[in-house]
Structure 1
């Protein structure tokens, strides 16, 4: 199971770092996910910082457990955005089916973050 957990950790770290990069270099990708009342530039900066921090923490064994917790909390924080997207006539992610699938994946991400946090043993 240790190899499987490390593979999952590296995949999630890659996704977080890629998301952080994407928020800064192609922010239009996320435009439809940001509520009108929230400043768009601030949303991109905060998301990039949070995602990069979590991604880096997942890569460093000393901080990996806390990276799992950060990932868990970040995925919970992003869940309402994906639910809100589902309620639109035309979801930003594409079709209604895509929005449902994205929410299901979000719950898998939440579970993965919790799993990493609860099972990863810090080395003394």
Structure 2
């Protein structure tokens, strides 16, 4: 139960803060968006998704689904983090900071999956 509370708080804070920041200062995130995507739409859209996940994780009935959505969103962001290692103008410098960011992303994926898998123990089989 303690782990669930910790993961819930972590995901809520990360997603709500991220969503608010994406909507309040979208220009900050434009350099991260690959040029094949419309930057404003991608940033604002991801901000809305982040807010939805951040709110959903606070609702016990929706929490497992929010955990899975969080993990899936982090997986979707993973190529951007990997791209930063090879792009000519990396966003995260120095290189160890990019490694730390990648490790944090993998930890976020694990946290979301852990929260999602927590639903299995509450299901009864007949």
Q: Same fold (TM over 0.5)?
A: yes
1:95 paired residue number: 94
Who wins on radius of gyration, i.e. which is larger?
A: 2
Alignment: residue pair count: 123
Is the Cα–Cα contact under 8 Å of residues 70 and 113 in structure 1 kept in the other structure?
yes
1:59 paired residue number: 58
Is the Cα–Cα contact under 8 Å of residues 61 and 122 in structure 1 kept in the other structure?
no
- Rounded to whole Å, the distance in 2 between the matches of 1:86 and 1:12 is 26
Is the Cα–Cα contact under 8 Å of residues 90 and 96 in structure 1 kept in the other structure?
no
2:47 paired residue number: 48
Unaligned ranges ≥5, structure 2: none
Is the Cα–Cα contact under 8 Å of residues 22 and 44 in structure 2 kept in the other structure?
yes
Unaligned ranges ≥5, structure 1: none
- Rounded to whole Å, the distance in 2 between the matches of 1:31 and 1:41 is 7
User: Normalized against structure 1, the TM-score is what?
Assistant: 0.90
User: Normalized against structure 2, the TM-score is what?
Assistant: 0.89
**Counterpart secondary structure, 2:57:** helix
